[in-house]
Amino acid sequence: MEVIDLTEEHKRLYLCCLEDWSDEIVEGVPKKEEWFDKIRDRGLRVKLAVDGDGTVGGMIQYLPAEHSFIEGGGLYFINCIWVHGYDKGRGNLQGKGMGRALIEAAEEDARDRGAKGMAAWGVALPFWMKASWFKKRGYKKVDRDGMAVLLWKAFEKDASPPKWIKKKKKPPLKPGAVTVTSFVNGWCTGQNMVYERAKRATEKLGDRVLFEEVDTSNRDNLLEWGIADGLYIDGKEVTTGPPPSYDKIVKLISKRLKKL
């Protein structure tokens, strides 16, 4: 197994989160590519884990904290680390050391680029990007927002811990209409799928449904709202665990329409 830097050859695979077999995930790819092209010159780093047969099985993406959705000086931030875990496509490649190899390579790279530490986020529940996985690798919890845990590892004694950017306000209601507000950063193909589905749903449901996009890859927008990714219907956040389906979003908007 080896860890390599992203090349043009594997760009599409990276944009699909290694799930090029999925007909569903392609919906979120255009927004991810838009984000990638915008942020790649701001320090974005992407590495891939390749097994002995040449199969790409894992990926990690990280960037300077000032271009991420946290606050932190002199740090790099891991947006995500993922080793393919499905039987479909390239198969389940978890449990073979790819995740460990990726994070060690990313830390070494960040050190070489002058970082004082590395930050990451993890989920409190053990189903994806587990916070406990990072803790086993020397990361310490410094902040939490619901199920999202912010962790970090200091490389230098004078490094300062990061913190979440807190929510500052919610989208306002508009008389006589249902407002669907999508906060979208672009870094996550899954979150981008929610954006695309919400946009299609509002187009289907007519003039009384207003769609508003807030591009939080623009840091001024991120700091104004304190929301990196999220879907709101008339100011209420849609929190349904995994990315809600198109039908689910249509149902939620339609339910709100009946109350006008």
Domain boundary residue, one of 164, 192, 224: 164
Beta bridge partners of residue 179, listed in sequence order: 210
The pLDDT value recorded for residue 242 is: 76
3-state helix/strand/coil string of 77-100: EEEEEEECCCCCCCCCCCCCCHHH
In a domain, 99, yes or no: yes
**Residue 113 shares a structural domain with residue 54:** yes
Distance in angstroms (rounded) separating the CA atoms of residues 85 and 92: 4
* CATH code for position 221: 3.40.30.10
In a domain, 172, yes or no: no
For tokens 């946009």, name the residue: 199
In a domain, 140, yes or no: yes
**Residue 157 shares a structural domain with residue 88:** yes
In a domain, 127, yes or no: yes
In a domain, 169, yes or no: no
**Residue 142 shares a structural domain with residue 221:** no
**Residue 17 shares a structural domain with residue 136:** yes
In a domain, 207, yes or no: yes
The pLDDT value recorded for residue 105 is: 98
Model pLDDT for residues 168-206, shown as the tens digit of each residue = 999 999 899 999 999 999 999 999 999 999 999 999 998
**Residue 112 shares a structural domain with residue 187:** no
Pairing assessment for the beta strands 209-215 and 178-184 based on DSSP bridges: parallel
DSSP 55: -
Neighbours of 176 (CB within 10 A): 7
* CATH code for position 58: 3.40.630.30
**Residue 139 shares a structural domain with residue 24:** yes
Domain membership of residue 207 as a residue range: 178-257
Distance in angstroms (rounded) separating the CA atoms of residues 120 and 210: 35
Task: Give the number of C-alpha atoms closer than 13 A to the C-alpha of residue 247, restricted to the C-beta side.
Answer: 0
Domain boundary residue, one of 132, 164, 196: 164
Neighbours of 114 (CB within 10 A): 10
Model pLDDT for residues 235-253, shown as the tens digit of each residue = 999 976 678 999 999 999 9
Q: Which class for 118: exposed (0-12), middle (13-18), buried (19 or more C-beta within 10 A)?
A: buried
Distance in angstroms (rounded) separating the CA atoms of residues 17 and 39: 17
Mean pLDDT computed over 197-224: 95
Domain boundary residue, one of 138, 164, 190: 164
Length of the chain in terms of residues written: 260
Q: What is the pTM of this model?
A: 0.93
Q: Radius of gyration (Cα) for the chain, nearest Å?
A: 19
Percentage, residues of the chain above pLDDT 90: 85
**Residue 195 shares a structural domain with residue 160:** no
**Residue 67 shares a structural domain with residue 151:** yes
DSSP 255: H
Model pLDDT for residues 119-166, shown as the tens digit of each residue = 999 988 777 789 999 999 999 999 998 888 999 999 999 999 999 999
List, in order, residues 6 or more apart from 202 with CB less than 8 Å away: 180, 209, 210, 211, 253
Distance in angstroms (rounded) separating the CA atoms of residues 77 and 66: 9
What is the domain count for the chain?
2
**Residue 89 shares a structural domain with residue 184:** no
Q: Which class for 220: exposed (0-12), middle (13-18), buried (19 or more C-beta within 10 A)?
A: exposed
In a domain, 173, yes or no: no
